[in-house]
């Protein structure tokens, strides 16, 4: 017998990435991620029709990105994809199949994490691209427009990595992690990011916003108190925090005993 | 006997609820039946043995090693859980193939092993259907396939015959017996005595989290056979049937039910009673609608054995 010819993390990733797209949850999120695209298209049509000022769609694009994507869609997608990595296995009582094969729990978690991360990132990335095309239709030849897209996409990737790792750890630790996650996203992150001084650095959104091409006061939408941190520091913090959360998720998952009920 | 599984002072509880308590047990090769009523602690014991739960007190080793967190052991262990669970969006083939790949087989070997396992449980023809389209019995057989696909040295089956149709019940019992004959270790849990009896004579009785008795089933059977059994028979001619039964020494009493179509017989020799009853039915042509035994279950037997 030819044993261990392929990395188990890759096998789990490939299998769950494929089957994940069949899940009802993913279909709902595909629709959800199209909302900004529809709004962007509407803005574009209104601008063309003269109902909006010229170049208003570019400004609208930045707002759509910030408010709908970075403050809503990315955290929510990361929350549902991340927290269900372990919780769905518990709810469906399927964890037993992945923990009675000769594969480490670390490989199981990382495989499932990568599948969920890539699914969520693809949903966001596709929406981003469509929004960008709608907003920058007249300036697709400009390098600045593509640079702007690259910054948004890069930041989205980091944001998704960090948030999903956090919610994976939360899901590995507790069963009701979605509720806690919602409180974190819409409570802690929404409020504390506007606190002056160092306090806002205790949110993930602070580091994300520090990377976005929106200056304090500019754009004007609820960002007037942002005191951005340097870009490189923000990248390192987001990468570091994501790695720490992921390590924590693995640490918990390897040691925790999951009770699938009916323990007769 | 070389112990494949060894439990020492093993205890497990969930909050205030006792799972198992102070279990000392050694299980070697061959088939061992784990018998007990629902809630007795059978599944808790098997889940600890399959590395799903950690012991609270004491230890449990399989092949000389603790199981929780020891994933390498699962090259040698197969576990069929009791839960009706599977990845419903996958097809039966995708599910088994995934597990085969995770057992370390390359793509070709995994395909061959999966095909063999699915054929063994009669699911090869429906392998491409999504699992959510399977019947309960098919999903039960799929779980069994998942536990045997890597041909483990030790197989642990938690209520593997639940929901399986009679034909497949017989085939699965044969499969399990063949495993035992090959010198592998099989631990099978059930709350139905005749099921276990058909596969092995080596049983462990669990009750309220403790090992109540261990050893040859015939010794236990002797106790059970002297346990007065009630048998309810629903038929069109209950009085005629009662007349034919009442003279038998093994019939302790006959009561007619209020509906006028049923009678309840109390016997102290259950097996003999059923043999005679079948003969009577065949001879007399009495039309029997239903035969039930209200206390033909392990809980009743345990209640009797512990003198409740």
Residues B76 and B185 in one domain: yes
Tally the domains of chain B: 2
Banded model confidence at residue A219, pLDDT cuts 50, 70, 90: very low
Considering the domain architecture, whether residues B65 and B190 belong to the same structural domain is answered as: yes
> What is residue B14's three-state secondary structure?
strand
What does the pLDDT read at residue A223?
47
Q: Show Cβ contacts of residue B233 under 8 Å, excluding neighbours closer than 6 positions.
A: B241, B262, B263, B264, B265, B277, B288, B290, B291
**How confident is the model at residue A216, as a pLDDT?**
45
What's the pLDDT score for residue B171?
92
Q: Mean per-residue pLDDT for A89-94? A: 92
Output the pLDDT for position A59.
74
Mean pLDDT across A25-40: 86
Confidence grade of residue A264 (pLDDT, cut at 50, 70, 90): very low
Same domain, B205 and B269: no
Closest approach of chain B CAs to the CA of A212, in angstroms?
38
pLDDT of residue B108: 93
Q: What is the pLDDT of residue A115?
A: 96
Q: What is the CATH number of the domain that holds B262?
A: 3.30.70.100
Q: Comparing A30-34, A47-51, A80-84, A143-147, which segment has the lowest mean pLDDT?
A: A47-51
Q: How confident is the model at residue B298 (pLDDT cuts 50, 70, 90)?
A: low
Task: Say whether A263 and B40 touch across the interface (CB within 8 A).
Answer: no
**Shared domain check, B204 and B237:** no
Average pLDDT for A161-190: 93
Q: Considering chain A, what is the average pLDDT of its residues?
A: 86
Q: Of all residues in chain A, what percent carry a pLDDT higher than 70?
A: 91
Nearest by CB: B102 against A11, A105, A257 = A11
**Per-residue pLDDT averaged across A167-192, rounded?**
91
Q: Model confidence at B224, in pLDDT bands (50, 70, 90)?
A: low
Confidence band of A19 (pLDDT split at 50, 70, 90): confident
Examine the domain organization and report whether B185 and B286 are in the same domain: no
Secondary structure class of B194 (helix, strand, coil)? helix
For residue B306, what pLDDT is reported? 60
- A-chain residues within 8 Å CB-CB of B106? 2, 5-6
Confidence bin at B154 (pLDDT 50/70/90): very high
Tell me, yes or no, whether B190 and B264 share the same domain.
Answer: no
Whether A101 sits inside 8 A of B102 (CB atoms) is yes
Are B195 and B112 in a shared domain? yes
The yes-or-no verdict on residue A5 having pLDDT over 60 is no
Instruction: Report the alpha-carbon angle B261-B265-B268, nearest 5.
Output: 165
pLDDT, mean of residues B191-210: 87
Residues B208 and B153 in one domain: yes
**Which residues of chain A make contact with B103, given a CB cutoff of 8 A?**
101-102
The verdict on B67 and B123 lying in the same domain is yes
Distance of residue A214 Cα from the nearest chain B Cα, in angstroms? 42
Across the interface, of A15, A97, A264, the residue whose CB is closest to B41 is: A264
Which of B203, B223, B243 is the last residue in one of the domains?
B223
pLDDT digit string (tens) for B32-63?
999 888 888 999 999 999 999 999 999 999 99
Residue B102 shares a structural domain with residue B203 = yes
* Domain end (from B171, B200, B223): B223
Query: What pLDDT, in 10s, does the model give residues A99-127?
Result: 999 999 999 999 999 999 999 999 999 98
Model confidence at B146: pLDDT above 80: yes
Question: B125 lies in which domain range?
Answer: 5-223
Assembly ipTM:
0.84
Please check whether residue A259 touches B, CB under 8 A: yes
* Residues B121 and B184 reside in one and the same domain: yes
Residue B127 has φ and ψ, to the nearest 5°, of: -65, -30
Which CATH number is B200's domain given? 3.40.50.300
Candidates A15, A259, A260; nearest CB to B98: A15
* Residue finishing a domain among B174, B194, B223: B223
Domain boundaries, chain A: 8-255
Separation in Å, CA of A125 to nearest CA in chain B: 25
Q: How far is A249 from chain B (nearest CA, A)?
A: 15
Whether B209 and B127 share a structural domain: yes
């Amino acid at each position: 017998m030819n044993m261990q010819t392929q990395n188990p993390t890759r096998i789990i990733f490939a299998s769950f990435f494929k089957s994940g797209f069949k899940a009802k949850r993913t279909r709902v999120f595909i629709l959800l991620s199209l909302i900004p695209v529809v709004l962007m298209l509407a803005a574009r049509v209104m601008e063309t029709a003269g109902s909006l000022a010229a170049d208003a769609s570019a400004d609208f694009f930045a707002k759509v990105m910030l408010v709908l994507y970075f403050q809503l869609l990315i955290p929510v997608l990361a929350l549902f994809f991340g927290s269900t990595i372990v919780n769905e296995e518990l709810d469906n009582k399927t964890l037993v199949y992945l923990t009675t094969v000769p594969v480490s729990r670390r490989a199981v978690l990382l495989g499932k994490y990568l599948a969920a991360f890539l699914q969520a990132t693809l949903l966001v990335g596709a929406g981003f691209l469509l929004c960008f095309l709608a907003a920058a239709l007249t300036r697709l030849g400009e390098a600045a427009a593509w640079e702007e897209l690259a910054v948004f996409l890069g930041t989205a990737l980091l944001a998704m990595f960090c948030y999903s790792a956090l919610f994976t750890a939360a899901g590995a630790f507790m069963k009701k992690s979605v509720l806690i996650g919602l409180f974190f996203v819409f409570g802690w992150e929404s409020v504390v990011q506007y606190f002056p001084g160092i306090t806002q650095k205790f949110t993930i959104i602070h580091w994300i916003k520090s990377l976005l091409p929106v200056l304090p006061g500019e754009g004007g939408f609820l960002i007037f108190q942002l005191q951005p941190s340097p870009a490189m520091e923000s990248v390192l913090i987001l990468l570091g925090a994501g790695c720490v959360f992921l390590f924590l998720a693995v640490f918990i998952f390897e040691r925790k005993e999951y009770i699938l009920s009916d323990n007769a | 006997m070389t112990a494949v599984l060894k439990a020492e002072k093993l205890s497990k509880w969930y909050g205030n609820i006792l799972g198992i308590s102070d279990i000392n047990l050694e299980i070697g090769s061959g088939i061992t039946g784990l018998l007990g009523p629902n809630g007795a602690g059978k599944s808790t014991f098997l889940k600890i043995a399959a590395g799903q739960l950690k012991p609270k007190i004491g230890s449990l080793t399989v092949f000389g090693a603790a199981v929780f967190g020891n994933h390498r052991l699962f090259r040698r262990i197969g576990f069929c859980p009791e839960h009706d669970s599977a990845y419903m969006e996958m097809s039966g083939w995708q599910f088994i193939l995934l597990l085969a790949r995770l057992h370390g087989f390359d793509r070709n070997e995994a395909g061959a092993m999966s095909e063999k396992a699915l054929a063994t449980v009669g699911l090869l023809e429906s392998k491409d259907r999504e699992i959510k389209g399977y019947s309960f019995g098919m999903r039960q057989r799929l779980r069994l396939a998942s536990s045997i696909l890597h041909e483990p040295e030790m197989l642990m089956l938690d209520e593997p015959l639940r929901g399986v149709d009679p034909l497949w019940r017989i085939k699965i019992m044969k499969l399990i017996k063949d495993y035992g004959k090959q010198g592998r270790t099989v631990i099978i849990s059930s709350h139905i005595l005749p099921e276990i009896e058909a596969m092995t004579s080596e049983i462990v009785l669990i009750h309220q989290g403790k090992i109540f008795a261990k050893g040859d089933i015939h010794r236990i059977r002797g106790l059970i056979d002297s346990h007065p059994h009630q048998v309810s028979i629903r038929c069109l001619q209950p009085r005629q049937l009662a007349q034919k039964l009442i003279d038998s020494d093994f019939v302790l009493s006959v009561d007619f039910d209020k509906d006028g179509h049923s009678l309840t017989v109390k016997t102290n020799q259950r097996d003999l009673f059923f043999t005679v009853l079948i003969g009577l039915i065949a001879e007399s042509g009495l039309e029997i609608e239903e035969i039930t035994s209200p206390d033909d279950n392990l809980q009743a037997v345990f209640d009797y054995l512990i003198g409740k």
